Structure formats: structure tokens, C-alpha cells
Amino acid sequence: MIRVALLFGGRSSEHSISCATAAGVLSAIDRDRFEVVPIGITRTGAWTLQPDDPGLFSLRAELPEVVDNGTRVRPPEAADSRAFTLVAADGAVSELGDIDVVFPILHGRFGEDGTVQGQLELLELPYVGNGVLASSLAMDKHMTKTVLVSAGIEVAPWVPLTPARWAGQREALEPRIRELGLPVFVKPSRAGSSVGVTKVADWDQLDAAVERAFAEDTTVLVEAAIVGREVECAVLEGRDGAEPRVSVAGEIVVTGREFYDFEAKYLDPDAAQLICPASLDEAQLREMQRVAAHAFEAIGGAGLARVDFFLTQDGFVVNEINTMPGFTPISMFPSCWQASGLSYPELITELIELGLAARR
């Protein structure tokens, strides 16, 4: 039986969403093929052994989180071992045994951004998903846009800010920002789930929006709002060097809110509809799938990604690439694959097999 270390939680602002993803995976993974070792990372970064119980981590009125139960999980000490060690709350040390593959379902910084992937690379532990470069690149919206533009892929115009540039070069930056036109979105460069994002409809709101975004990251984007349908598709790495596989499209229809913010995504079930498959004609779907595969390859993607678009009157504009998308059974990534003929349990198996076969 293949032993899978499921890493979830973490230090980012998306800690609870990672826990919800863990609940989905724990509830659906093929127990005849895989033995799961649930390793919850606390908000302060402690690796703990958690119960194999999906109910503890599912989304509910109170957002789930990894509770520090006093245990500590230690990864192997060197690259010639796959043995994990458990230190109990009372200090007793025992072996957790060898781990065949790590499944890091961490969202946001300190997990989805290449940091954990780098640790796993150092130890030569097989893992699911994107490598160090693609993970760190896609986590940074400014760098992602820069790479996509160089690959000939359309993105929304933007102006990057840092605290030093905003304080010292504001007079030069403001005209560039105003050229974007209203409304604009102000967002942290390295955060997800719309944390720290503000829609600015009046320039008087800009300072507060920038300050809010700087609370999440030291680089902030002021981005032109794009008018169009919000559509997404899911990407899987091709087998044995084949082209990436791309799902049918899904669509987000927001009702009663300014945009698809954190509350609309996770807390208010009436704020948005997730429609899959989306209503696209054959030519539109082919073009969307082509651009999604191109974007995936442009960042050096591996394993999986979700590519988010705006469908405008002039065509597709890539909003962002998510290298560890939401992965609950009702999230867009698995929903798109289910509509494409791959069930949620089969998708989990496929990702683990890709991780085991990866040669990074």
C-alpha cells in the first residue's frame, strides 16, 4: 500500500481553506490503494500528527484550523531516508514509518509558494504538484503576469507597488495608475482566496486599499478591471511527456456582491453560482484550453493548476494561475474534471501517481 503524507493548514491567511481541502481529500481518497498520514501544520508552522477524520476540518460556521495537540512530526534527516518520526506530546519518540509521496495541499504563502516544495526537494521526497519554480512564480501575481506577457498571453494591465516605491515615487506612479481607469482592483501580489483585495471605484479609496493589501504582502498590484465573464478551467500534467490535459470550462456568476471575494467563495452560499460546464461554443472552448495549456507550460507547470480567465468581447484574458486550487468536492477544479469524465477519487489517484512519477 502506498503511504501518503497529507500536508495541510500552514502559516498563510488561507490556513482554513487548506483544512477544508484536507477534509475533501480524506473523505474521498482510495483507501484500498493509499494509507494516509495526516500532517497538520499549525498557524505558527509546527508539524503535528492529526486525526484521520474529515469532519474535523470541513467548512462550517466556524472556520476549521489545525489545533496544536503537542505532537511533532519530523521529516527524514537526510535524502537517503523516507522515514518520518513522531514526537508525542509527552516527549516519547516513535517511528511513523516511510512515506512514499507527500501531498502538500497547502494554499498561499509558506506552502503553495515553493517553500515546502524546496524542503521536499532537499530531502528527495516525491510530492504531488508543481515544483519550486512554478510554485513560487505563480504565487507572485506580478511575476506571473510578466512571464505570461512575454509568452504572448493577454493579461489585465497593472502597476506594481512596493512600500518604498509608493512612498518615494508616488507622483510618478499615480498618473500610470489613473491611466488604468476606474474601477481598479488593488490586491497583494502573493496572497490567494481574494484575501486583502479591494475594488476601488473612487480614487479617494486608493490609499486605504493599498494599505490593506500591504498588510498581506510587500508587493501590491493595482490592476485594471476587466469586463467579461469569469471562466476557469483545470489543467493536469500530461503523462509520459505528453501535452497538458485541460478540462471543460466552469463559470462563476456573482450575485449581490462587488466581486468574487473571500466571503463569496467560502462563507455565503448565495453570493455566487459555480456553473460547470460553462456555456461556451466549440471554438471558444478550444481557444480557452489552448491558452490554459500554454500558460501552464509558460510557468513550467507540473501536476495540476487552475487557470482563471475573463472572457471579453475581444477574447480571453488570463486573470491568474493557481498551482494548488481549491480541492473540496464542490470546488471548481474537481468539478471541471468531473464534468470532463474524471471523478473526484480518480482525480486524487491521478495526482498521486503523477507525483510518484515526477522527475524534477
Q: Where are the domains of the chain?
A: 2-127, 138-155+227-357, 158-224
Residue pointed to by grid coordinates 495541510: 8
From the candidate CATH numbers 3.90.1300.10, 3.40.50.20, 3.40.50.12280, 2.90.10.10, the one assigned to the domain spanning 2-127: 3.40.50.20
Q: Which residue has the higher pLDDT, 98 or 359?
A: 98
- What is the rounded (10 degree) CA torsion for 148, 153, 155, 159? 50
Give Cβ neighbours of residue 39 (< 8 Å, ≥ 6 apart): 5, 6, 7, 8, 47, 48, 49, 50, 73
The residues pairing with 155 across neighbouring beta strands, listed in sequence order, are 318
The predicted structure's pLDDT at residue 328: 86
190 catalytic per annotation: no
320 catalytic per annotation: yes
Where residue 61 falls among pLDDT bands split at 50, 70, 90?
Answer: confident
Backbone angles phi, psi at 347, to 5 degrees: -65, -45
30 catalytic per annotation: no
The fourth-level CATH superfamily of domain 138-155+227-357 is: ATP-grasp fold, B domain (3.30.470.20)
> Which tens digits make up the pLDDT trace of 160-189?
999 999 999 999 999 999 999 999 999 999
C-alpha cell at 309: 480567465
Q: Which entry of 13, 319, 322, 331 is annotated as an active-site residue?
A: 322
Residue 317 to residue 315: CA distance in whole angstroms:
7
33 catalytic per annotation: no
Whole-model pTM over 0.85: yes
Where residue 254 falls among pLDDT bands split at 50, 70, 90?
Answer: confident
260 catalytic per annotation: no
193 catalytic per annotation: yes
Contact (CB, 8 A) for 33 and 42: no
Sequence-ordered strand ranges (E) for 178-244: 184-188, 198-200, 220-224, 229-236
> Which tens digits make up the pLDDT trace of 1-53?
999 999 999 999 889 999 999 999 999 999 999 999 999 999 999 999 999 99
Q: Which entry of 320, 335, 340, 344 is annotated as an active-site residue?
A: 320
End-to-end CA distance of the chain: 24
Q: Which entry of 11, 190, 245, 306 is annotated as an active-site residue?
A: 306
Q: Which H helix or E strand runs over 354? A: helix 344-357
Contact (CB, 8 A) for 249 and 232: yes
Q: Report whether pLDDT(325) > 80.
A: yes
> Which tens digits make up the pLDDT trace of 100-145?
999 999 998 899 999 999 999 999 999 999 999 999 999 999 999 9
Contact (CB, 8 A) for 198 and 185: yes
C-alpha cell at 299: 510557468
150 catalytic per annotation: no
Give Cβ neighbours of residue 299 (< 8 Å, ≥ 6 apart): 133, 134, 137, 138, 144, 147, 305, 321, 323
158-224 topology per CATH = Dna Ligase; domain 1 (3.30.1490)
Contact (CB, 8 A) for 203 and 177: no
C-alpha distances in Å from residue 165, one per residue of 82, 162, 196 = 45, 5, 19
State the amino acid at position 127 in one-letter form: Y
> Which tens digits make up the pLDDT trace of 272-299?
788 999 999 999 999 999 999 999 999 9
Q: Which H helix or E strand runs over 16? A: helix 15-28
Residue 67 to residue 314: CA distance in whole angstroms:
48
Q: Which entry of 10, 13, 14, 340 is annotated as an active-site residue?
A: 14
266 catalytic per annotation: yes
Q: Which entry of 13, 136, 237, 266 is annotated as an active-site residue?
A: 266
Where residue 330 falls among pLDDT bands split at 50, 70, 90?
Answer: confident
CA 75 to chain centroid? 24
